Amino acid sequence: MPTSLAQRLSAVAPSATLAMAAKAAQLTAQGVKVYPYSVGEPDFPTPPHVVAAAKEALDKGATRYTAVTGTPDLKAAIVDATLRDRKHKIEPKQITVSVGAKHALFNLACALYEPGDEVIIPAPYWVSYPEQVRLVGATPVIAETKEETGFVLTPEELERRVTPRTKALILCTPSNPTGAAYSKDALLALAAVLKKGDYYVIVDEIYGDLVYGGFEHCSLAALAPDLGERLIVVDGVSKTYAMTGWRIGWSITSPRVAEALATIQGQSTTNPAAVAQAAAAAALRGPRESVEQMRSAFERRRTLMVEGLRKVPGVKCRMPEGAFYAFADVRGLLGLRDGDSRLETDEQIAMWLLREAHAATVAGSPFGAPGYLRFSYACSEADIQGGLAAFAAAVERAKKA
C-alpha cells in the first residue's frame, strides 16, 4: 500500500477558477469557440518597454540568484511606486518580493497563522484566501457582506466576527470576485473598529489601479497609519501591467515580519526570477500610457458586460467599481430545464452554460456566494457580445423545453 499524503491536504479544495479554465481549454482543443469569462488575467500584452528591459537584463547577466527577498533596484522601484500610487511611504526593509501576490499571501499564512487561530475573510472572497488559512491549520471565519450595500464589510459585521482567537483580517479592494471596492469612508469606518484590536490587517491591493466611473482607490495604509505594524499590504505587477506570467508580487510589512518572511522564502523558493524582477522594476518606473489604455478598455467592457448580463432573462448584475469581473446573480435561472433534470445550483448553471453556450464562467459557491457566477471581462468586446448572445439564446431554449 502506498504511503499516505499529508493530512493537511484533506482540508483544502482545488482552485475552482483553474478547474473551469481546464474544462474550457479541453473544448478549445477540440476546435470549439469558447467565450473566456473564467480566467482572471488581462488579455493585453506586457508593455513593450518592459519586455525590452527584460531582454536587456538578460544580456547583462540577470540569470543568477538575487537576494532572497528581491533586488535592491526592484525594492527601490516599489518604494517610489507605493508613494506615487498608494500615497504612503515605506522603506526597502519592509518589502518581501515573492513569486506573485498569491505566494506573498501564502508566505504570510506560514509566518502568522497557527492551529487555533482565526482569520476573518469577507465573503464573497477569492478562493485561495480560506484555503491558505486551512492549509496551515488555522480557521477561516467568513464575514458576510450584502450586494445591496456594495459587497463591502461593515464595521458591525467585523465587530461581530472578532474573538480572542482572531489573528488577522484579509481585505481585497477592489475585490475578486465581485469587483467591489472600499471607498475612503468605508475604510475609515472599518479602521475605527480595527484600532480596538490587536490582530493583523492584510489588504490585497493587486487590482488597485483598475478602477472605473470616477471611483478613487484609497489605501488603508495611507488612511490609518496608526494601525502601525499590524497593517500588511500585498501588491504586485500582474494585473496593472499585464504581467501575470512574470510572477512578481510583494508584501509590505513591519521589518520584524519581513525577517520571518525572508526565513520562509529562503527555505522554499528563494528569490523570484532575476529577469522578472528587472522587468517589474521597468514596469513600475516606466510610462503609464499602456496602463491607462488598458484601464479605459476595461471600463468600456465593464459597461458592455454588465448591461448585457442585465438583458439575459433571470439574471441581475451590480456595476462593479474595479478589477475586471462582473458578479452576476443567476438565482433567477434556478429550476431551468436541463435535459431530463433541472438546474438546482450555481455550479450546475456554470457547467450548463459551458455546454449550451460555450461560455466559461466560475460558479459563485467556491467564492462563498451561492447563486452567483463570476464573469471576467478581460476579453474582447466581440467575445463579450457573442457570449452573452449565446447565453440569452440558451436560456430561451431552456424555457421552451
**What would the pLDDT profile of 152-176 be if each residue is shown by its tens digit?**
999 999 999 999 999 999 999 999 9
Helix or strand (DSSP H, E) at 342: strand 341-342
195 and 231, same structural domain?
yes
In-domain check, residue 143: yes
Which pLDDT band holds residue 20 (cuts at 50, 70, 90)? confident
In-domain check, residue 257: yes
**Does the structure show a pLDDT above 80 at 17?**
no
- Joined together, the cell numbers standing for residue 294 give 488598458
**What would the pLDDT profile of 180-189 be if each residue is shown by its tens digit?**
999 999 999 9
99 and 174, same structural domain?
yes
151 and 196, same structural domain?
yes
247 and 186, same structural domain?
yes
Which pLDDT band holds residue 12 (cuts at 50, 70, 90)? confident
How far is it, in rounded angstroms, from Cα 195 to Cα 117? 19
> Is this structure's pTM higher than 0.75?
yes
117 and 18, same structural domain?
no
Domain range spanning residue 258? 48-285
Which pLDDT band holds residue 52 (cuts at 50, 70, 90)? very high
In-domain check, residue 74: yes
CA 157-163-164 angle, to 5 degrees, is 155
Which pLDDT band holds residue 1 (cuts at 50, 70, 90)? low
How far is it, in rounded angstroms, from Cα 92 to Cα 252? 9
**What would the pLDDT profile of 192-221 be if each residue is shown by its tens digit?**
999 999 999 999 999 999 999 999 999 999
Between the CA atoms of 121, 126, 129 and 134, what dihedral angle is there, to the nearest 10 degrees? 100
Domain tally, the chain? 2
Tell me which of 240, 260, 285 is where a domain ends: 285
